[in-house]
C-alpha cells in the first residue's frame, strides 16, 4: 500500500478521555487484556500485574520479532499496547504490600483469575467495599462468579460451543459444528467488560462507591445470540447450521470466482434485487412471494439466479451494480484485502504502533487496528508494548521479586 493511501486517515494521537483513571489488572491471555487494552487506548493508566520471570503466557506466542531492542510477540502485542508492566508474586509479603498500595490509588481492578481467587487473596466483595470503597472491580470469567458451572475451566472454544454459537456455524447440520476464529467470545467478553466498567464509573460519580462487575463469557455469548434465541422463543424452532431460514441471506460467486455477500430482508429490497439482475418476474413468483419463502429458497432458486447474472462480471462490479439499485451487497475480502482497504485507510483504522521493535524487514513501521472509534474526528494512537517488568522501579518492586 502506498504511503499516500496510508496517510489519508483522520488525525490520531494519545486520547485523554479516561485520563486520570488508574486500572490495575490481574490478567492473562485475551479477555481481560483486550478489555484493558481498550481502556489504555482511551487514556487510562493500565498497570498489568504479571508473574515474575515469565509474565503473561502470550508473551511466548510466535511469530516474534527479535532485534537489539528485545523481542516482540505478535500474540502479546495484539492486546497489551500502552500498558505498564510490573512483576509481582502476590504470595510474597513485600509484593503483596506493593499490590495493596496500587489498589489504594486505583479506580478499577480487572481480573480474569478463576472465580474465588480474589476471595482467597483477601479481596472478597465485602473486604474491598470496606478497604477500597471507590474501587470498581470487574471479574471476567468463563461462567461467572456464581452458578453450577462457576468453577469450570473455560477457553473461547468452550464458550462458543456451550453458548450455541457453534451449533449455527458450518455448511449443514450433517457437517461438524465449526468455530468462529480469533477468540471471538474472548474479545466480546472484553468489550462488554469495558461497558460494565464505564457504567460503574458513571454510577460512582453519583454514589461515591465502586461496584462489582461480574462478566460471564457464557452469559455474554448467549445474549449475543439474541436473534436465534428470540426466534426460538417466538416459534419454537431450533436454528441449525446451514441456510438462515428466517432471512434471505447468502453468498454467491461472480465471474472472476470471487464471492459476494447479500441479504434481502424486506419485500422492497427483493424488488430492487430483481430489478438489478434483470429478473422482474422473480418478484411475483409464488415460490418467492414472502420473506420466509425466500429464505427457504435462497440456495435453490435465488443464489443460482444471482450467479447466472454475475457470470460476466467481476465481484466488485456485481456488488456495485446491486448497490446502485439500493440493494446492500459486499465482496468477501481476504485479510490482506482488508488491510489494504481504501475505506479503512481513509478512516485511519490501522495506526502505527509506537514501539521501536515494531518494524518490518523493509524498515516500514507496523500498523495495527486502533480503538475502532473516532472522537471529534480523532483516533487513538496505540502505545508501546511493555517489556516484562519494565515499570517495576516506578512502583517500588524490589529486584528480588522479578528474579
**Distance from C-alpha of 220 to C-alpha of 356, rounded to nearest angstrom:** 37
* Matching CATH number, 3-227+381-402, of 1.20.1250.20, 3.30.420.40, 3.40.50.10540, 3.40.50.720: 3.40.50.10540
* 250 and 299 Cβ atoms separated by less than 8 Å: yes
Q: What is the predicted pLDDT for the residue at 243? A: 61
Per-domain residue ranges of the chain: 3-227+381-402, 259-331
174-178, 193-197, 198-202: the lowest-pLDDT one: 174-178
* 86 and 49 Cβ atoms separated by less than 8 Å: yes
SS3 139: strand
* 147 and 134 Cβ atoms separated by less than 8 Å: no
52-61, 170-179, 267-276: the lowest-pLDDT one: 170-179
pLDDT tens per residue, range 1-30: 334 445 456 766 789 999 999 999 999 999
Place of cell 473486604: 127
Q: What is the predicted pLDDT for the residue at 11? A: 67
pTM of the model: 0.92
Active-site annotation, residues: 186
Label residue 231 by pLDDT band (50, 70, 90): confident
Label residue 347 by pLDDT band (50, 70, 90): very high
Contacts of 105 (CB under 8 A, 6+ apart): 22
**Distance from C-alpha of 242 to C-alpha of 92, rounded to nearest angstrom:** 54
Q: What is the predicted pLDDT for the residue at 4? A: 40
Q: What is the predicted pLDDT for the residue at 245? A: 66
**Distance from C-alpha of 58 to C-alpha of 18, rounded to nearest angstrom:** 26
Quick one: cell of 107? 479506580
Mean pLDDT within 261-289: 96
Angle between helices 156-163 and 184-207 (to 10 degrees): 90
**Distance from C-alpha of 42 to C-alpha of 12, rounded to nearest angstrom:** 12
Class of 259-331 in CATH: alpha beta
Mean pLDDT within 178-187: 91
Report the share of the chain in percent with pLDDT over 90: 80
> What letter does residue 197 receive in the DSSP assignment?
H
Amino acid at each position: 500500500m502506498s504511503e499516500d493511501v496510508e496517510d489519508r486517515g483522520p488525525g490520531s494521537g494519545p486520547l485523554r478521555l479516561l485520563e486520570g483513571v488508574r486500572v490495575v489488572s490481574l490478567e492473562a491471555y485475551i479477555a481481560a487484556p483486550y478489555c484493558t487494552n481498550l481502556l489504555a487506548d482511551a487514556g487510562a493508566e493500565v498497570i498489568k500485574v504479571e508473574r515474575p520471570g515469565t509474565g503473561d503466557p502470550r508473551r511466548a506466542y510466535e511469530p516474534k520479532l527479535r532485534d537489539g531492542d528485545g523481542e516482540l510477540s505478535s500474540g502479546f502485542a495484539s492486546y497489551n499496547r500502552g500498558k505498564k508492566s510490573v512483576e509481582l508474586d502476590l504470595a510474597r509479603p513485600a509484593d503483596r504490600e506493593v499490590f495493596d498500595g496500587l489498589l489504594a490509588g486505583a479506580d478499577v481492578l480487572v481480573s480474569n483469575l478463576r472465580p474465588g481467587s480474589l476471595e482467597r487473596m483477601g479481596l472478597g466483595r465485602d473486604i474491598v467495599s470496606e478497604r477500597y470503597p471507590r474501587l470498581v472491580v470487574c471479574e471476567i470469567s468463563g461462567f461467572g462468579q456464581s452458578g453450577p458451572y462457576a468453577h469450570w475451566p473455560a477457553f473461547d472454544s468452550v464458550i462458543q460451543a456451550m453458548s450455541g454459537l457453534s451449533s449455527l456455524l458450518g455448511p449443514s447440520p450433517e457437517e461438524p459444528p465449526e468455530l468462529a476464529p480469533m477468540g471471538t467470545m474472548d474479545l466480546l467478553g472484553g468489550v462488554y467488560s469495558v461497558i460494565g466498567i464505564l457504567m460503574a464509573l458513571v454510577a460512582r460519580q453519583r454514589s461515591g462507591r465502586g461496584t462489582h462487575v461480574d462478566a460471564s463469557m457464557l452469559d455474554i455469548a448467549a445474549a449475543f445470540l439474541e436473534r436465534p434465541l428470540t426466534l426460538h422463543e417466538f416459534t419454537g424452532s431450533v436454528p441449525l447450521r446451514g441456510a438462515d431460514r428466517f432471512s434471505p441471506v447468502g453468498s454467491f460467486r461472480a465471474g472472476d470466482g470471487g464471492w459476494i455477500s447479500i441479504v434481502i430482508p424486506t419485500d422492497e429490497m427483493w424488488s430492487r434485487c430483481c430489478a438489478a439482475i434483470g429478473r422482474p418476474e422473480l418478484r411475483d413468483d409464488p415460490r418467492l412471494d414472502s420473506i420466509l419463502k425466500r429464505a427457504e429458497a435462497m440456495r435453490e432458486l435465488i443464489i443460482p439466479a444471482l450467479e447466472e447474472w454475475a457470470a460476466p462480471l467481476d465481484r466488485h462490479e456485481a456488488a456495485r451494480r446491486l448497490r446502485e439499485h439500493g440493494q446492500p451487497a459486499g465482496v468477501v475480502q481476504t485479510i490482506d484485502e482488508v488491510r489494504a482497504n481504501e475505506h479503512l485507510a481513509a478512516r485511519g483504522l490501522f495506526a502505527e504502533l509506537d514501539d521501536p521493535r515494531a518494524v518490518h524487514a523493509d524498515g516500514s513501521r507496523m500498523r495495527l487496528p486502533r480503538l475502532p472509534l473516532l472522537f471529534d474526528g480523532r483516533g487513538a494512537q496505540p502505545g508501546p508494548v511493555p517489556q516484562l517488568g519494565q515499570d517495576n522501579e516506578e512502583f517500588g518492586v524490589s529486584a528480588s521479586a522479578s528474579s
